[in-house]
Structure 1
Amino acid sequence: MATYEVEVLSPLFIGSGQKYPPLEYLTLAEEEKFVVADMERVFTSPRFMLNDFLDKVKKPGFYLGDEYPWAREFPRFKFDSSKKTLLDLKARKAEVLAPIADGQGFYLPGSSLKGSLRTLIYKINLPEIKETFNEKINESRKIPGTRKEKLSEAAEKALTGSPNYSLFRALKVGDSLPLGEESLGLYQVKVLSLTTNGYRWKILPGEQSTADLEQATSSFFVGFKPGVKLQGSFTIEEKYLRDNIYPLVNKAFFSNWQERAKEVQRQFLQKELKFYEEIGLEELKEFYQKLIQDSNDGIILQLGWGTGFNSKTLKEAMPADELKEVLNWAKIKYRENFPFPKTRKIVVEKGKPLYPTGWIKLRILD
């Protein structure tokens, strides 16, 4: 059994489905800390008055740090952040997306990494899968009641087998070893959108946008910091690929997969670099230039929240006209004469757009 090592290259968020609301956190801007309070300890403190709390929490804009600053003495977690991000969060009093964790700490689920690798395996075999993929997608969307989330099921079954006999049974990816809160930080995200003259920033909900980064809508999450490394177990069961007694289809999809994956991802990175070069975002241009330089000694891969349509789908397998038909069928918005997708989620630090979310470098260690 081998081990994978994931090096985080841009803030990585895998959600637990939970959120930290303003009544449970404090922003300590001068200390550059985001504190999630242990509310059980707050509630049992002699300083806590229940009736006072119930009166205050009913009012719009309640924020624990304003009303109960002493709650900082009862931290559940303390995450690093920049002063600017903390001040913006306090001003907006937004909910913060919480990362997945267990009793031992915060971790990368093996299922998340395996899901990204599944998509990547299809992409490195794109010439062989295009015809079947398109045929099955078009058949599925003509079946009444097909949901867009299930649109690719028939295509995947034709290409890699049914769940019980899937080619991906050969791929086993474990959860990473857990890490402590010092490996995570609080991050702010805004949505960039292409325009005919460059780009603007989205004001959500709706279709409004602004040239002023400060005025754009923000989302906040706690995720792994750039530079953090995670490790877990990794196996490709050769017996499933080698022995004829296992009735798996397209076993050659895994042939020399790591080197082919590096090349496919380098091509994708070049496209993203061109995207940011053309709209003149220097910080993002420099980020992708560095990713390309780093792509020789590992697989550069994007996963998790905020990574978007490009990293999670096989849109490259479909001719442009057919892709538009599928997007219309799925009621996904696109604009004529614009590349699809025309939006990107961007991590903003100290008032500057610095990173797309979720880029990692994957190495398989013996």
Structure 2
Amino acid sequence: MATYEIEVLSPLFVGSGQKYPPLEYLISLEEEKFVVADMERVFTSPRFMLNDFLDKVKKPGFYLGDEYPWAREFPRFKFDSSKKTLLDLKTRKAEVLAPVAEGEGFYLPGSSLKGSLRTLIYKINLSAIKETFNEKIKKSLQNSGVKKEKLSEAAEMALTGTPNYSLFRALKVGDSLPLGEESLGLYQVKVLSLTAGGYRWKVLPGEQSTADLEQATSSFFIGFKPGVKLQGSFKVEEKYLTADNFPLVNKAYFNNWQERAREVQRQFLQNELKFYEEIGLSELKKFYQKLIQDSVEGIVLQIGFGTGFNSKTLKETVPLEELKGVLNWARIKYRENFPFPKTRKIVVEEGKPLYPLGWIKLKILE
């Protein structure tokens, strides 16, 4: 059994489905920390008055740090952040997306990494899958009852087999070893959108946008910091790919997969670099130039929240006119004379757009 090593290159978030609401957190500007309170200890403190709490929590804009600043004495977690992000969160009193955790540790689910690698294996075999994938997608669209998340199911089964005999049974990826709160931080995300004259920032909900980054809608999450390293178990089960008694289809998809993955991802990085060069976002341009350098040493790919349509789909298998039909069916807006997709989720720090989300460098350690 080998081990994977992941170096986080931009803030990485895989959610637990939970959120930290304003009635459970405090902001410490002095420490530059986002503090999640241990509410059980707060509620059992002699200073806590239930009726007072129930009256205050009903009022709009309740924030634990304003009403019960002493709750900082009972921290459950403390996450690093910048003062600007903390101040923005305090102003907006937003919910904060919580990461996957086990006990007191935070980890990357093996299923998240395997899902990204699954898409990547398809992409490195694009010429071999394109015709079948497109044909099956068109057939699925004729079924009025098919759901968006099931659209590519028939195509994948035709290419890599049924769930019980899937080619991807050969790929075994474990959860990462858990890390402590010091490996994560609070981050702020905004949505960039192309315009005829460059770009603007989304004001959600709806189609409004603004040139003023400060006025754009923000979301917040707790994610792994750039520079953090994660490790877990990894194996491509060779017996499944070489022995005749394992009835898996298209076993050649895994041939020399790591080198081919590096090549495919380098082209992807070049395309993203061009995207940011053309709209004049120098910080993002520099980020992708550095990623291209890093891609020589490992497989650079995106995983998790906010990584977007390009990373998570196989849109390259569908001709443009047919892609428009798929997007219309899925109620995803397509703009003529614009690259698709025309939006990106961007991490903002100190008032500047600095990172796309979820970039990692993956190495397989034998």
Task: Note the alpha carbon deviations across 1:255-307, whole angstroms, 9 max, x for none.
Answer: 00000000000000000000000000000000000000111110001010000
Per the normalisation by structure 2, the TM-score is 1.00
Aligned to 1:343: 343
Instruction: Report the CA distance between 1:117 and its aligned residue.
Output: 0.2
Alignment correspondent of 2:13: 13
Q: CA deviation at 1:30?
A: 2.2
2:50 corresponding residue in structure 1:
50
Equivalent residue number for residue 38 of structure 1: 38
What's the counterpart of residue 241 of structure 2? Answer: 241
2:304 is aligned with what amino acid? G
- Residue of structure 1 equivalent to 2:270: 270
* Residue aligned with 1:31, SS: coil
Runs of 4+ in 1 over 2 A off after TM superposition: none
**Partner amino acid, structure 2, of 1:340:** F
Letter in 2 for 1:359: W
Q: Which amino acid aligns with 1:315?
A: K
The 3 A distance-change label for structure 1 pair 104 and 37 is closer
2:28 corresponds to: 28
How far apart in 1 are the matches of 2:61 and 2:131? 54
**For 1:158, what is the secondary structure of its paired residue?**
helix
CA distance in 2, matches of 1:334, 1:75: 46
Residue 186 (structure 1) aligned with residue 186 (structure 2): yes
For residues 308 and 142 of structure 2, what CA distance do their matches in structure 1 show? 25
In 2, Cα distance between equivalents of 1:233 and 1:343: 35
Q: Which residue of 2 aligns with 1:87?
A: 87
User: Partner letter of residue 160 of structure 1?
Assistant: T
> Can you give the 5+ residue segments of structure 2 that lack an aligned partner in the other structure?
none
Alignment partners' CA distance in 2, 1:232 and 1:224: 15
Distance in 2, Cα, partners of 1:218 & 1:29 = 19
Superposed, which structure 2 residues align to 1:202-221 within 5 Å? 202-221=202-221
Q: Give the drift of 1:227.
A: 0.2
Q: Per-residue CA shift, 1:54-94, capped at 9, x if unaligned?
A: 11001000000000000000000000000000000000000
Tell me which residue corresponds to 1:122. Answer: 122
Equivalent residue letter for 1:168: F
C-alpha distance in 2 between matches for 1:72 and 1:347: 27
Structure 2 residue identity aligned to 1:109: P
> Shift of residue 104 of structure 1?
4.6
Aligned to 1:151: 151
Cα deviation, 1:105-162, whole Å, max 9, x if unaligned, reads 0000000000000000000000000000000000001012011110000000000000
- Offset from partner CA, 1:317-347 (integer Å, 9 cap, x none): 1111111111111111111111110000000
- Provide the TM-score with structure 1 as the length reference: 1.00
Alignment-mate amino acid for residue 248 of structure 1:
L
Q: Secondary structure at the residue paired with 2:361?
A: strand
Deviations for 1:10-69, whole angstroms, at most 9, x for unmatched residues? Answer: 000000000000000001122100000000000000111111101100100000000000
Q: Alignment RMSD, CA only?
A: 0.5
- The separation in 2 between residues aligned to 1:337 and 1:48, in whole angstroms, is 59
Deviation (angstroms), 1:207: 0.3
**Match of 2:268, SS?**
helix
SS at match of 1:23: coil
- State the number of aligned residues: 366
Question: Partners in 1 of 2:329 and 2:213 — Cα distance?
Answer: 33
Q: Distance in 2 between matches of 1:364 and 1:187?
A: 29
Structure 1 segment 242-257 matched on structure 2, within 5 A: 242-257=242-257
Alignment correspondent of 1:68: 68
Letter in 1 for 2:200: R
1:324 aligns with 2:300: no
Runs of 5+ consecutive residues of structure 1 not aligned to the other structure: none
**Aligned mates of 1:71, 1:330 — CA distance in 2:** 46
Q: Secondary structure at the match of 1:22?
A: coil
Matched residue of 1:178: which SS? coil
